[in-house]
Chain A
Amino acid sequence: MVGAPLFGLLGAVLQEGAEHADVFVPFLPAWMILLPFIGFVINGLVAYTAPERKKLVTFVGPGVLGLAFLLAAINFVLIAGVHDAEPAIRSYWTWIEVGQLRIDAALQIDQLSLIMALVVTSVSFIIHIYSIGYMAEDPGYARFFAYLNLFVFFMLVLVLAANFPLMFVGWEGVGFCSYILIGFWFTQPVKAEAGQKAFIVNRIGDFGFLVAMFMIFAYLGTLDFQSVFALAPTGFAYGGAAITLITLFLFLGCTGKSAQLPLYVWLPDAMHGPTPVSALIHAATMVTAGVYLVARSSVLFALAPFSMNVVAIIGGVTALFAGTIAIQQYDIKRVIAYSTISQLGYMFLAVGVGAYTAGIFHLGTHAFFKALLFLASGAVIHAMHHALHHAGEDSSEDASQDMRNMGGLKSKVPTTFRTAWIASLALAGVFPLAGFFSKDEIIWSVGARGQTVLWVVALITALLTAGYITRWLVMVFYGQSRVSDKARQYLHAAPLVMAGALVALAVGSVVTGWINIPEALPLLPEFTWFHHFLHPAFADAEHIIVEHMGEAAHVAPFGGGEGTWAVASTVAAILVIAIVFQALKGKKYLPARESAEPTGIAGLLYHKYYVDELYDLTIVRPFKRLCVFCWRVIDQGLIDGALVNGTAYSTRFGGWVLSRFQTGYIGTYVLIIVLGVLIILGAVIT
């Protein structure tokens, strides 16, 4: 698949001459969503009734995705051909109609949602192809594709929705699919728990989203995007408490879904899922939903400068925080996981300073090279597992994924090796790969908006990124191999489907950056097509920002223009790569079981700053105690015991008491008669 760049060029051509097309009419938009759902149904039925029929699943699973991508591409070309196209809203039926509230099942097709749809469908399609090879021997093959299709369905609902509740449906749906996909091999407790952790932590964020929705409805009386964003500037006081709270609650949802501080803890554990899942959900699509939400609600955030600051600060801090952890992780996928958290921090940093286009740009490029990094890891793990298994050694997950057991693999998995290099360079932001353009734009925007501290943080994180990814490369592919001689003969290269996917993503990692080349770069033609394309989506928000905070500067905090700093950061990144490479190339690592655990600062980073342990102590355990209390004391003791059993018991007791009256003894009866007579007589005479 060729992805965005080709169509970007096509769009540019259309942009040059096309003033004649006036209205954007989407082409079969609902089918973009329906196709993956149909795939889910078919694959689900196969999984349920005849799981061994893999051929059908192989055809249907990626097939529907390919068609969906085609549709997205067609619509993309159509909308690119219309200058400043208006969003097309297609309403299919009335979903909820209660009092003043009316929510339709409606899709909004505009520039922003189509870019997201393109990224989602293209990367999903490639990963589906990859999965054909990766999951070939797994008995849950059909189930896997069913779940993947379902996930893409929900993700597309999320990005194409025209109102907050429908988007929330997609939001929850992808959370659920994440749960079932992380816990795909649920027979192992640790994986099932990882799935649970992801879902529960997400849920905390979802609470924020819901509260924000309630508040929006309370203030504006509507939940459609078009209506809300039109009414918001007049409906809310700029910087007021209401809009600030709403946006902060929305952002709470984002920290959950997109793994930022403080709700990022589920993402590293999510690595227990199959690697294609990590690539698709936890790199390219689901985790980007939070960024999309902020971008989509740009008008709301623009009205609340405090919230924007919060977003930017958390984004920046998370980026640095995750970066520091990544340099001391030994699991091949964990490094990439923390890298994802870090890069998501960059995206939030961008949208937090109002550079919406830069954020979405990085979202797109990151999807490609991060997915590639994961899939490359997958290929390595696949080979390691296979080799260790056949050599009769410990082929458990811990063993086959620990980088201390690898090394010197470059000759054994050549395609994987080369594409991993490309992805690493893209991640580090080296010209002319995709990451360079997107990341530099973010760093520049942060500096241009006057956020000096965050700008420095972003720069430092960029260096860290180059550092940890080089370490990753060296530990896996270079140096003396820690794989035993016996196992090494079983190492094999990735099968064609997997290799093909890797190459496709590599091409994307190179080319997707070229859709937006700022003028400041020396020797390159200016090509700001992407900015122009997305401008209509963010025009209102940018207008509000300019109105209240002035234009962005053209000079960085410490002097120098955009071009200068772009060149400087690339040079710095290359330097870091070179230094780290030299330093670690000759290092003798011990295999995992012989290695001691790191201590001191390295130990602190290795143990991820003990955040999970902290959460467990302060939140999980007290909450569990509360739950046990509710169970034992309230539910069993009070409700079951006092109320239910108690009523029964007291009724029986009352009956027992009354039964004592039947003594069968005449004397008792006479006494009662006499007493009765006395009472009645007394009542009568008074």
Chain B
Amino acid sequence: MLQESLALSGILFSIGVVGVLLRRNVIVIFMSIELMLNAVNLTFVALSRSAGIEGQLFVIFVMTVAAAEAAIGLAIIISIFRHYESVDIRKFRLLRW
């Protein structure tokens, strides 16, 4: 099942990348990032079967960081929304040339 898990993980990661590239709603982009993180978690878990328990431990930490990041990120989005009245990333252009 290792090969299949790795393949699945690759597919999910790619789908996550496509989502980040192509969506304009910043929250959906965030969700795609979470998807990518999950794909990586799957890789770790799949490999830990033959490599040792450290794989699963690392997944715990990934989840922790993902949680923290989601909290902060959403807080930022709320702040931005207050300013721009929108979550469309096309509107966030202050750092333009």
B57 proximal to A (CB < 8 A) = no
- A663-B97 contact in complex given A671-B21, A674-B21, C-beta closer than 8 Å: yes
Say yes or no: is A595 at the interface (Cβ < 8 Å to chain B). Answer: no
A664 near B89: Cβ-Cβ < 8 Å? no
Please determine whether A670 and B20 come into contact, CB atoms closer than 8 angstroms: yes
Contacting residues, chain A, for B94 (C-beta < 8 A):
664
Query: B97 contacts which of A660, A666, A671 (Cβ < 8 Å)?
Result: A660
In the assembled complex, how far is the CB of residue A569 from the closest CB belonging to chain B, in whole angstroms? 95
When each residue 71-97 of chain B gets 1 if its CB lies under 8 Å from chain A and 0 otherwise, what string results?
A: 000000000000000000110111111
A667-B92 in contact (CB<8A): no
* B-side contacts of A667, CB under 8 Å: 21, 24, 89-90
User: In the complex, what residues of A have CB within 8 A of residue B89's CB?
Assistant: 665-667
Query: What residues of chain B lie closer than 8 Å to A666, measured between beta carbons?
Result: 26, 89, 92
Residue B17 CB within 8 A of the other chain: yes
A664 to B90, CA, bound (A): 9
What 0/1 pattern do residues 631 to 664 of A give for CB contact below 8 A with B? 0000000000000000000000000000111111
Distance, CA A674 to CA B24, complexed state (A): 16
In the complex, which residue of chain B has the Cβ closest to the Cβ of A659? Answer: B97
Q: Which residues of A are found within 8 Å of B90, using beta-carbon distances?
A: 665, 667
Shortest Cβ gap from B21 to chain A (Å): 6
In the complex, what's the smallest C-beta–C-beta distance from A659 to chain B, in angstroms? 5
For residue B24, which residues in chain A have a CB less than 8 angstroms away from its CB?
Answer: 667
Known A667-B89, A667-B90; judge A662-B97 contact (CB<8 A): yes
User: Which residue of the partner chain, among A665, A670, A671, contacts B93 with CB atoms under 8 Å?
Assistant: A665
A contacts with B, residue count (CB < 8 A): 12
Task: Report Cα–Cα, A660/B96, bound state, in Å.
Answer: 9
CB of A511 to closest CB in B, whole Å: 94
Asked if residues A664 and B97 are in contact (CB atoms below 8 Å), the reply is: yes
For A671, list chain B residues within 8 Å (CB).
Answer: 21
Chain B residues in 8 Å Cβ range of A659:
97
Flag if B20 contacts A662 (CB, 8 Å). Answer: no
Q: Within 8 Å CB of A660, what residues of B?
A: 97
Determine how close the nearest CB of chain A comes to the CB of B48; give it in whole angstroms.
23
Among the listed B17, B26, B93, which residue makes an inter-chain contact with A663, where contact means beta carbons less than 8 Å apart?
Answer: B93
Other-chain contact of B17, A662, A665, A674 (Cβ < 8 Å): A674
A252: min CB distance to chain B, Å: 66
A664 touches B21 (CB 8 A): no
Task: List A contacts of B96 (CB < 8 A).
Answer: 662-665
Tell me the residues in window 555-606 of chain A with beta carbons closer than 8 Å to chain B beta carbons. Answer: none
Cβ contacts A665-685/B at 8 Å (1 or 0 each):
111001100100000000000
A664 touches B93 (CB 8 A): yes
Q: Judge whether A670 and B97 touch: CB under 8 Å.
A: no
The answer for the CA separation of A662 and B97 in the assembled complex, in Å, is 5
What residues of A have a CB within 8 angstroms of the CB of B97 in the complex? Answer: 659-664
- Nearest CB in chain B to that of A656: its residue: B97
Mask, A534-563, CB within 8 Å of B = 1, is 000000000000000000000000000000
A662 to B93, CA, bound (A): 10
Contact, CB under 8 Å: A664 / B20? no
Min C-beta distance of A670 to chain B, whole Å: 6
Give complex CA distance A666, B26 in Å.
10
Which of B17, B21, B24, B97: most chain A CB closer than 10 A? B97
Within 8 A of A (CB), among B43-57: none
- Complex: chain A residue closest to B96, CB-CB: A664
Query: How far is the CB of B55 from the nearest CB of chain A, in Å?
Result: 22
A674 — which chain B residues lie within 8 A by C-beta? 17, 20-21
**Complex: how many Å from CA A666 to CA B90?**
8
**Nearest chain A CB to B91's CB is how many angstroms away?**
10
Bound complex: CA of A667 vs CA of B96, how far in Å?
Answer: 13
Which chain B residues lie closer than 8 Å to A661 at the CB level? 97
- Give the CA-CA distance A660 to B97 in the complex, in Å: 7
CA distance A662 to B90 in the complex (A): 14
Instruction: Determine the distance from Cα of A665 to Cα of B26 in the docked complex, in whole angstroms.
Output: 12
Min Cβ gap A464→B in Å is 86
Chain A residue with the shortest CB-CB distance to B91: A665
Q: A369-389, CB under 8 A of B: which get 1 and which 0?
A: 000000000000000000000
Task: Output the nearest chain A residue to B93 by Cβ-Cβ distance.
Answer: A664
List the A residue with the shortest CB-CB distance to B94. Answer: A664
In the complex, what residues of B have CB within 8 A of residue A662's CB?
A: 95-97
- Cβ-defined contact, B17 with A664, below 8 A: no
Minimal Cβ-Cβ distance residue in A for B24: A667
The docked-state distance in angstroms from the alpha carbon of A667 to that of B95 is 13
CB-contacts of B1-43 with A (<8 A): 17, 20-21, 24, 26
A-B contact pairs, 9 of them (CB 8 A): A664-B92, A664-B96, A665-B90, A665-B93, A666-B26, A666-B89, A667-B24, A674-B17, A674-B21
19 further contact pairs, Cβ within 8 A, besides A662-B96, A663-B96 = A660-B97, A661-B97, A662-B95, A662-B97, A663-B93, A664-B92, A664-B93, A664-B96, A664-B97, A665-B89, A665-B93, A666-B26, A666-B89, A667-B21, A667-B24, A670-B20, A670-B21, A671-B21, A674-B20
Partner-B contacts on A (CB < 8 A):
659-667, 670-671, 674
Closest 7 CB pairs of A and B: A664-B96, A664-B95, A664-B93, A662-B97, A659-B97, A666-B89, A670-B20
